[in-house]
Amino acid sequence: AQSVTQLDSQVPVFEEAPVELRCNYSSSVSVYLFWYVQYPNQGLQLLLKYLSGSTLVKGINGFEAEFNKSQTSFHLRKPSVHISDTAEYFCAVTPSGGSYIPTFGRGTSLIVHP
Amino acid sequence: DVKVTQSSRYLVKRTGEKVFLECVQDMDHENMFWYRQDPGLGLRLIYFSYDVKMKEKGDIPEGYSVSREKKERFSLILESASTNQTSMYLCASSSRDRGYKPYNEQFFGPGTRLTVL
């Protein structure tokens, strides 16, 4: 079984500042890792994912994340945020070996202030 | 453009009513999922289906049932709606094909906000 912990339920930040949203996971097997974003009154959409290869993954809208196997982390970063980045962000993992059911974190609300 | 659609964005029902939430995907995905989303609790899996007529319980199946008669359609049924089922319901689909580029990625519908009075 897997579990995902998003360490911050809410992250307030000023526009153009850098941001990091933290995600830690636990799993007894290899996993695939995902970050999804949910804008107000919408469904979730994929920001980026790590399946294999380079541990630094670049996604849409200038976001990137780094897979750290030893620390079982997959933190999401953006060097300069915009007001439009205000949204809920979810980290998710799925076992790489065959289950297709992701385990989601509880979400981090990113609030960008002008 | 890939698409998952849900039959209603907003729904208001009375306690005891039977409620149907419909989800349709046009990507020929094998897997389909129903989640409910509540503040502070994230997404919780209600049911999923990995093939037509197949279904598996998720973490919180009580009070819900599902139907998948066609590959593209996955319905969530609340047999007798209760106030504690007031929530946002999200449908998602994904592919099991390892040759399919967005392998294992979930595609979500816009959600149905259900209020049970």
pLDDT digits 0-9 by tens, B62-80: 999 999 999 999 999 999 9
Report the C-alpha gap between B107 and B95 in whole angstroms. 10
- Give chain A positions within 8 Å (CB) of B96: 100
**Mean pLDDT, rounded, for B22-47:** 94
Task: Give pLDDT, residue B76.
Answer: 98
What's the mean pLDDT in B17-37?
95
Nearest-neighbour CA in chain B from A91: distance (Å): 10
Rounded-to-integer distance, Cα B112 and Cα B89, Å: 5
Contact between residue A92 and residue A103 where contact means Cβ atoms under 8 Å apart: yes
pLDDT, tens digit (0-9, with 9 covering 90-100), for A78-112: 999 999 999 999 999 988 876 778 899 999 999 99
**Among the listed residues B74, B68, B72, B69, the one whose alpha carbon sits nearest the alpha carbon of residue B28:** B72
User: At residue A11, does pLDDT exceed 90?
Assistant: yes
Are residues B31 and A44, on separate chains, in Cβ contact within 8 Å?
no
Q: In the predicted model, what is the mean pLDDT of residues B55-60?
A: 94
> Measuring CA to CA, how many Å separate B42 from each of A36, A88, A105, B67?
12, 10, 6, 24
Ramachandran bin of B29, using left for φ above 0, alpha for ψ from -120 to 50, beta for the remaining angles: beta
Is any Cβ of chain B less than 8 angstroms from the Cβ of A9?
A: yes
pLDDT of residue B66: 97
What is the model's pLDDT at position A68? 93
Residues of A in Cβ contact (< 8 Å) with B99: none
**Helices and strands: H and E segment counts in chain A:** 0, 12
Interface probe, candidates A100, A103, A106, A109, chain B, greatest B C-beta count within 10 A: A100
Chain A partners of B31 at a C-beta cutoff of 8 Å? 100
What is chain B's percent helix, strand, coil content, to nearest 5? 5, 50, 45
pLDDT at A51: 87
